[in-house]
A = this chain, B = another copy of it.
Amino acid sequence: MASDSEKTDAQRKRASDKAEQILQGATQVFLAQGYDRTSMDRVAKTAGVSKQTLYAYFSDKQALFEALVARMAKQRFQGAFADESLDGNPDAVLPPLIQQGLASLAQDTEYHDFIRIMIGESKRFPDLIQTFFSNVTLPTIETIRHYLESQPELDIPDAEATAHILLGALVFYMLTQEVMGGRDILPMSQDRLSASLIHLLGVSKSSSSEND
């Protein structure tokens, strides 16, 4: 009957919605509690579905977690400051890039939770780390590297290694200050860090360039 086909269409459309709905609830719970302390009961309740529905979409806890990580990684892929194609002279490009990168890393508390669980479970789920690296870290490194290579005046002999250093400084800041909560015992401001990074890269804020 008509109601039958309508129902089928509605279900098909809702199928991906249900998966999304589950993943959103799961994300909340996993990021707040960590992998082991997250129960499927609570995921089902938070997502507003029954456990049967939950297990219909995801075969077990591990599969759910894997889908969650893949989703977060893809989300980051288009959200990070990795997609902007950079050009223009360093004096104009690097300071805002560093400041905005640092600010966005420092602000995103959901990302802090994600990083915490990624590192914490990296030994147990090595494949997930590959997903994360290839979707998030590697594109970021490549973007920075490409820009550094395009600016010979920066005099950077190894752009890839320098990209690791640059990103490393930003990530370490996020880790100590936000992910691990060391603001009080290791105080450091975003401004001081970015100013020192810019200084190390040899970017002059004025027009003079003093090279030997």
Residues of A in contact with B (beta carbons under 8 Å apart): 34, 36-37, 113, 116-124, 126, 129-130, 133-134, 137-138, 141, 156-158, 160-162, 164-165, 167-173, 175-176, 179-182, 185-186, 188, 192-193, 195-197, 199-201
- Oligomer copy total: 2
* Given A134-B185, A138-B186: A179 and B37 interface contact (C-beta under 8 Å): no
Contact with A173, one of B164, B176, B196 (Cβ below 8 angstroms): B164
Q: Contacts of A133 on B, CB cut-off 8 Å?
A: 176, 180, 182, 185-186
* Assembly CA distance A6 to B156 (angstroms): 69
* Assembly CA distance A130 to B126 (angstroms): 28
Q: Dominant SS at the A interface? A: helix
* Assembly CA distance A168 to B175 (angstroms): 9
Closest B residue to A192 using CB positions? B161
B116 touches A122 (CB 8 A): yes
Other A-B contacts than A34-B123, A164-B193, 20 sampled, CB-CB below 8 A, are A34-B36, A113-B123, A116-B120, A116-B123, A119-B120, A120-B120, A120-B121, A122-B179, A129-B181, A133-B185, A137-B186, A138-B185, A141-B186, A157-B196, A162-B196, A164-B172, A167-B172, A168-B170, A168-B173, A169-B169
